[in-house]
Amino acid sequence: MKNIIPATIAIAIITPIAIPMPVPVLNFELDSDCLLYSQQSIPFKVNVVGTLVPKSMSGLIVLVNLPELYKQLLLQVLLHYLKKTHVSGVVHPTAGQMLHVLIYSFNLYYISFLEFVPVVVLIIIIHISFIYFHIIIKFFAPMINLIIQLLTQEQVPIVLIHGLQQNANDFSNVSLWLSELFPGRYIKNCEVGNGAESTIIMNINAQIAELSYCINNDPKLARGFVGLGYSNGGLLMRGYLELHNHNKAPMKRLITLSAPLGGFFCGTKSECYGYGEFSEFLAALAVDVMYSKIVQTAFGPANFWRDPYNLDIYMEHCVTLPVLDNLKNYSEQRKTNFMSVDKIVLFGSSKDGAISPWQSAWFGTWAEDDEKTLKMEERDVYVQDTFGLKTMNEQGRIIRIDSEMNHFGYYKKEEFIKNVVGPWLVM
């Protein structure tokens, strides 16, 4: 006997009959051939979730509250039905994991689950009253179109972008693992300029332009994509979102892996770790040199170097991060663009060992020095909602996840990419 999984189904019957009728309780199970069947031979018809109603009923509405796994199961079953019988209906998953299914015209006596592990479903149906609803036939036309679109549309493509001192080859394994996780899904692995060298000697605005070129010269991405950026690449994805999402291929969701979204600084009270001599070199530069026109033009990391001891100079001369934070050259369009994705998923960790401070991966930053930090909610850009961060967070669209990962482990661990990041790539 297989494991039993209860699912309580609330049913409202659409029928001209408005009198109470008893509906028997029937048990269903999947045998070794994955065939859902009834052990009672009664002339009943079956809908996609295994609920039985007398054949005399003209149709039914089924409301199901199930976890994501079983929601996907129902979609597979419905797709199977479309292939073997005349079915009309609509599927509309909501944020609360509710699946509303409107189904009619069934005359089957069993349900076949193809390529799905055997499970046992116990359906509990109590006595209900059948209530007459006036439904205009034209109401069904858009529903039928919607179900066809939902079941036949391609998965949203994924765009990858590497981090600092890397190139596309460093993300080749990530691309491979995601291809295995999502067979047939289009994955674009972009590269900044000439790769590792360009991430240093090309300013961030130019790198964002390179990313835009990679995306918008691929017609397969024209209808939208999920952006997945690692480290410096996460900041580039944010830049693309704010600067281009209104007039170029639209990003549907942003996922960042330890990106310096709140800036980077080290070397006074905090240790310059992770990048070793490179970080120490940055810290050794005089303030007037770091924020000079020549360095800001030709040195990428300088564009998100947020010096907490010299914020006035940073605000005036840093050419990228203050603009993305909408503290400089304010643009309502950038704010609108930032909020145009369905959600932003931020991976970070206190074990990072490279981003300084590590809270920058969650839009945190240094306070008045590089010893104390400010959480996202404590920053002025959040309180004033300069670029939409507060609005999105209050709407539950900013997701912060502690990866418990070292900075250089994100793109090296298959299990993490498939099991932790993978689910967030499902649209």
pLDDT computed for residue 273 by the predictor: 75
pLDDT computed for residue 118 by the predictor: 37
Decide: residue 34, CB within 10 A, 0-12 exposed, 13-18 middle, 19+ buried.
middle
- DSSP class of residue 419 equals I
Residue 304 tokens, joined? 């998100």
Provide block-wise average pLDDT over 10 residues at a time, the chain (427 residues): 33 32 32 30 34 33 41 50 38 31 29 36 38 43 49 78 94 96 95 90 95 97 97 98 96 98 91 66 78 93 94 96 97 97 97 95 96 97 98 97 95 95 93
- In the three-class reduction of DSSP (H, G, I as helix; E, B as strand; rest coil), residue 7 is classed as strand
Final residue before a domain boundary, out of 121, 151, 181: 151
Residues 245 and 373 in one domain: yes
Residues 108 and 68 in one domain: yes
φ, ψ (nearest 5 deg) of residue 64: -125, 130
pLDDT computed for residue 50 by the predictor: 38
Final residue before a domain boundary, out of 119, 151, 183: 151
Residues 127 and 259 in one domain: no
pLDDT computed for residue 58 by the predictor: 30
**Cβ contacts of 188 within 8 Å, gap of 6 or more:** 157, 158, 159, 160, 214, 215, 218, 220, 221, 225
Residues 222 and 333 in one domain: yes
Q: Tell me, yes or no, if the pTM score tops 0.95.
A: no
Question: 273-304 pLDDT, tens per residue?
Answer: 765 566 666 767 778 889 999 999 999 999 99
**Cα–Cα distance list, 50 to 28, 65, 105, 304 (Å):** 8, 14, 15, 56
Number of domains in the chain: 2
- Check the CA dihedral 80-83-88-89 and report its sign: positive
Residues 114 and 228 in one domain: no
**Cα–Cα distance list, 345 to 86, 174, 229, 392 (Å):** 40, 17, 11, 11
Measure the CA–CA gap between 169 and 173, rounded to whole angstroms: 8
Residues 307 and 409 in one domain: yes
Residues 242 and 388 in one domain: yes
Measure the CA–CA gap between 360 and 257, rounded to whole angstroms: 11
pLDDT computed for residue 338 by the predictor: 98
pLDDT computed for residue 286 by the predictor: 77
Q: 242-271 as b/e, with b when 16 or more CB fall inside 10 Å?
A: bbbbeeebbbbbbbbbbbbbbbbbbbeebe
Final residue before a domain boundary, out of 135, 151, 167: 151
The CATH number assigned to the domain holding 167 equals 3.40.50.1820
Instruction: Give the whole-number percent of the chain exceeding pLDDT 90.
Output: 56
DSSP β-bridge partners for residue 190: 161
CA 305 to chain centre: 28
- DSSP class of residue 141 equals H
Range of the domain at 93: 4-151
pLDDT computed for residue 278 by the predictor: 61
Measure the CA–CA gap between 250 and 340, rounded to whole angstroms: 9
Strand ordering across the sheet containing 251-257: 187-190, 158-161, 225-230, 251-257, 344-348, 398-402
pLDDT computed for residue 73 by the predictor: 53
Residues 99 and 248 in one domain: no
Residues 199 and 228 in one domain: yes
Cis? peptide before 24, omega within 30° of 0 = no
Length of the chain: 427
